[in-house]
Amino acid sequence: MAKPYTLGRSSSTGWWAWGCKDGDGAGSSPSKSEARAQARAACSGEGIITPPDVDVVAYRGYLSHFTIEDLDGKRNTFSTEEISQAEFSFFFGMPCANDEKVEDSRKLITILKIWGLYRGGYNVETIMKLHYLTPDDVKKLITRRYYGGTIIVEDDGTITWKLP
Amino acid sequence: MTVQLPGNYLDMRLAVLIYFIILSFHFNSVIGQNYPSGTFKYGKVNLLMDKSFISNQDWSEYIYYQKNKFSTDTDHYVKSLPDTNIWKKEYINGKIPSIPGVDVKYEADPIIGLSFYQINDYCEWRKNRLIERYKTDYVCRLPNLDEFKLFIERQKRAYPYNVLVLIENEPKIVNYNPSTKSMNISNYRDNIKFFFFCVMEVKK
């Protein structure tokens, strides 16, 4: 989930102005780090991971494509060329004959793509590096133990994972 | 052994050197800009003027400063709020900008529903923020008529509007019609809708 606040230079004072995305607070500070700290303290909008809404289009019983909300509420459409039926089934925890064939790296890519966080990488090590994941985070993600967790994408691109 | 470099190679090196000098100068001027991005420098002396009218978003920075520093039950905060009777007439949903839950579509619109005294307080507040940020001594004030003329040359608004200016140190309302480029000046009074912008003098 993207950070729950906005941060930018005020055009009238040159201070760093921040505001909670949910409109629940705002402020400004001469230094960026101080403004960011204030925003973090004030904006409680860390996104809790919950199962997303999805619209599925199937053809003769086989998945054709699906449209799903990412963690920012944006709807994205994926074809089975991008996310296969087995990967889709994995994400939703549905039993599927090909479940076991989905590699850990593909599981991570599927989750990150659906959440709108995917930055690249095709093996687990690269994906971990690009997404600031620890081995423990990876283990939780590929076993789908992430509901109720939070993700914060910082201004500098770092991602903080708080998985249960 | 001495090797004579071909002339065109030297020219190329010189061109690259000049290019980097220009690039470096450009970066320095952008990065080292010692005034807010919403203002521009003008005149022979160090004067800054807002590029556009003070917006709801600009004003919200002021309100939130008062709220965070003094809390909502103080005069500092209450006096920073715009007059909702004027605000509601313009912005139909009636929500005050910068108050939690405001519709972001009004953020860039000029703030209205303020008094001359509130704006004076804002200028004082803004001056202090500028001094803290840029470590330079500023005076923040309303524009005079000549400065207003300079300001409107840069505006693209097509509809008539009222603007608060200082004429011989007295607050006046200038009604400007962009289509006819005519101006009507009247005395300032409360409960009238007007826009405003600021001028900052950099004291040496």
Which of A9, A10, A26 is the closest to B98 by Cβ? A26
Contact B61 A9 (CB under 8 A): no
ipTM of the assembly?
Answer: 0.73
Is the residue at B18 inside a domain?
A: no
Most confidently modeled range among A53-62, B17-26, B62-71: B62-71
Contact B98 A30 (CB under 8 A): no
Predicted model pTM:
0.63
Contact A11 B126 (CB under 8 A): no
Total tally of structural domains belonging to chain B: 1
Could you report the per-residue pLDDT of A113-133, keeping only the tens digit for each? 998 889 999 999 999 999 999
Of A7, A13, A44, which to mutate for an interface test with B (greatest number of B Cβ within 10 Å)?
Answer: A13
pLDDT at B189 over 60: yes
pLDDT of residue A145: 87
pLDDT of residue A132: 94
Is the residue at B50 inside a domain?
A: yes
Is the residue at B30 inside a domain?
A: no
Is the residue at B89 inside a domain?
A: yes
Contact A13 B68 (CB under 8 A): no
Beta partners for B47? Answer: B42, B201
Cβ neighbours around B141 below 10 Å, total = 18
Contact B61 A11 (CB under 8 A): no
Mean pLDDT of B25-50: 73
**What one-character DSSP code corresponds to residue A38?**
H
Cβ neighbours around B14 below 10 Å, total = 10
Higher-confidence residue of A80 and B121: namely: B121
The range of the structural domain enclosing residue B199 comes to 42-203
Residues of A in contact with B35 (CB under 8 A): 14
Going by pLDDT thresholds of 50, 70 and 90, the confidence category of residue B27 is very low
Mean pLDDT of B84-102: 55
Residue A154's H or E segment, with its range, is none
Going by pLDDT thresholds of 50, 70 and 90, the confidence category of residue A51 is low
Cα of A53 to nearest chain B Cα, Å: 25
Is the residue at B83 inside a domain?
A: yes
Mean pLDDT of A79-106: 82
Cβ neighbours around B171 below 10 Å, total = 19
Q: How many contacts, defined by CB atoms under 8 Å, are there between A and B?
A: 58
